Amino acid sequence: MPTFALVDCNTFYASCERLFQPDLRDRPVVVLSNNDGCVIARSNEAKSLGIAMGAPLFKIRKLVDEHGVIVRSSNYALYGDISERVMSVLGSQAPAHEIYSIDECFLDLDRMAVADLTDWCRNLRRRTHKWTGIPVSIGVGPTKTLAKVANRLAKKSAKAGGVLDLSHHPQWTEAALRKTAVGDVWGIGRRWSAMLEERGIHTAHDLACSQDGWVRKRMGIVGLKTVHELRGIACHALDDQPAPRQTTCCSRTFGEAIRDKGQVHDAVMSFAERVAEKVRHAGQVAGAVQLFIRTDPFDQNAARKSVSGSATFQRPTSDTRVITDAVLRIFDRIWRDGYGWRKAGVLLLDLGDPASVPASLFDVIEQPDGLMAALDEINSRFGRGKARLGLARKGGEWRMRQENLSPSFTTRWGDIPAAKMG
């Protein structure tokens, strides 16, 4: 029988913030979305204060002041680096792994020859925490969906000590399913959960006991797979070879609506530079580029508009000069005066391996002149956007609001933490 583990980092963003600032350990911490809009992550202390996921900052202002809640802007440079470390520890210990999200990883423990899997998981948990500073919980089950159920309970129950193995303790499965609300089952969205609740299906156990025909009719084959997985029949395998990324994007919501063409131009150019850097970092080339600009879709009082355009490169490229040139042409074509633009983004599409690009008869063979490599090196050493092509002005009001950003402790020399000798 297959054996899956789901390893999930406990309050991951808050744990990253605390790693280099131990004085935050016992204090409630919340992390805000891009632009400091609303709460996207909470420490357990912040959860106990009743701060809801998605709450806008202004709504929790009073709680923040009264309880000394630490508020942080999201620091993806930090979270991304720590995530890579956690995944590398997990990947080195298990026969196969699948990174499911920034803070979750499935392990395939099928061929593991260990006497006691719970012990093994406890060791893995200890090792991950020791090496990376990030606490994790581990759920084990014969299917990915049951591993998820086990993980949730491992995290909640003090008795479990961060590990719950349903594969070797099938007698616990029914109780685990009874304790899991149907809406908390992997793959059951809000819409399905409302429909199920209405029909008296409240727990994962209720769902597992539903009739196949009915499930198939109401929730299709996807829903049926979920139900089978709850019964212990594996329908999802480990995708340990994720396909290379086909698109990459750099987009931002502006701090406020921008009407000025020059300002939006600058923002868009910097996104083009950033996204070009991303594909170069991945060792890929792009076949096409797309630019979009839109107003605030939720603002009832302002005129709403969304424009976009794209261009195909004659030859796949990762050269900032070619990409920004294309984005500039699209921008001039799609720009409309008279709107308050709120978001823009540049996408690179049709990404591929530079080696597989066919040469054409009329190609001017590009000599790698080292300029792009030098640009990337300067920016990685001195901070993003320090060296740029002569296209964009510095600064500008479009910049993301990040008033409470912690340093990039692990990815920028100027930001590494200080250790006191006093």
Partner 1 sequence: MLRFVEYPTPLELPLFGSPVEAGFPSPADDHIEGKLDLNEHLVRRPAATFFVRAAGESMRGAGIFDGDLLVIDRGITPQPDDIVIAVVHGELTVKRLQRVNGAWQLAAENPNFPTLPIRDDGCEIWGVVTHSIRRHCGR
Segment contacting partner 1 by CB under 8 A, of 79-87, 204-212, 260-268, 299-307:
79-87
Sole residue written with tokens 């479990």:
160
- Residue with smaller CB distance to partner 1, 7 or 291: 7
Query: Does 22 engage in binding with partner 1 (CB under 8 A)?
Result: yes
Distance from C-alpha of 192 to C-alpha of 177, rounded to nearest angstrom: 17
**Cα-based distances in Å from 33 to 24, 42, 403:** 20, 12, 12
Smallest distance, partner 1 to C-beta of residue 22, A: 4
Q: Choose, by CB under 8 A, the member of 131, 217, 282, 336 that binds partner 1.
A: 131
Smallest distance, partner 1 to C-beta of residue 24, A: 8
Centre a 10 Å sphere on the Cβ of residue 350 and count the other Cβ atoms it contains.
15
Segment contacting partner 1 by CB under 8 A, of 128-136, 189-197, 222-230, 317-325:
128-136
Which residues, numbered 214-253, are part of the site for partner 1 (CB under 8 A)? none
- CA-closest candidate to residue 287, choices 323, 324, 312, 322: 312
Query: Does 374 engage in binding with partner 1 (CB under 8 A)?
Result: yes
Cβ-based neighbours of 46, under 8 Å, separated by 6 or more: 14, 28, 29, 30, 39, 69
Q: Choose, by CB under 8 A, the member of 33, 263, 380, 402 that binds partner 1.
A: 380
Query: Is 219 in contact with 79 (CB distance < 8 Å)?
Result: no
Smallest distance, partner 1 to C-beta of residue 122, A: 17
Query: Does 377 engage in binding with partner 1 (CB under 8 A)?
Result: yes
Per-residue DSSP letter, 397: T
- Find how far residue 408's CA is from the centre of its chain: 17
Distance from C-alpha of 382 to C-alpha of 384, rounded to nearest angstrom: 7
Distance spanning both ends of the chain, measured CA to CA: 57
Which residues, numbered 90-109, are part of the site for partner 1 (CB under 8 A)? 92
Smallest distance, partner 1 to C-beta of residue 90, A: 10
- Residue with smaller CB distance to partner 1, 43 or 167: 43
Per-residue DSSP letter, 169: -
* CA atoms 358, 359, 361, 362: torsion sign: positive
- Residue with smaller CB distance to partner 1, 379 or 402: 379
Centre a 10 Å sphere on the Cβ of residue 46 and count the other Cβ atoms it contains.
26
Q: Choose, by CB under 8 A, the member of 89, 102, 138, 351 that binds partner 1.
A: 89
Smallest distance, partner 1 to C-beta of residue 408, A: 12
- Residue with smaller CB distance to partner 1, 89 or 147: 89
Q: Choose, by CB under 8 A, the member of 132, 137, 173, 248 that binds partner 1.
A: 132
Which residues, numbered 387-416, are part of the site for partner 1 (CB under 8 A)? 409-410, 413, 416
- Residue with smaller CB distance to partner 1, 209 or 416: 416
Segment contacting partner 1 by CB under 8 A, of 96-104, 235-243, 308-316, 375-383:
375-383
149-182 b/e (C-beta count within 10 Å ≥ 16 → b):
bbbbbbbeeeebebbbbbbeeeeebeebbebbeb
- CA-closest candidate to residue 279, choices 270, 290, 287: 287
- Residue with smaller CB distance to partner 1, 390 or 422: 422
Query: Does 133 engage in binding with partner 1 (CB under 8 A)?
Result: yes
Tokens matching residue 22 = 């131990």
Query: Does 367 engage in binding with partner 1 (CB under 8 A)?
Result: no
Distance from C-alpha of 208 to C-alpha of 196, rounded to nearest angstrom: 12
Query: Is 163 in contact with 122 (CB distance < 8 Å)?
Result: yes
| Residues found near partner 1 in the complex (CB under 8 A) | 20-23, 25, 84-86, 88-89, 92, 130-133, 370, 374, 377-378, 380-381, 409-410, 413, 416-422
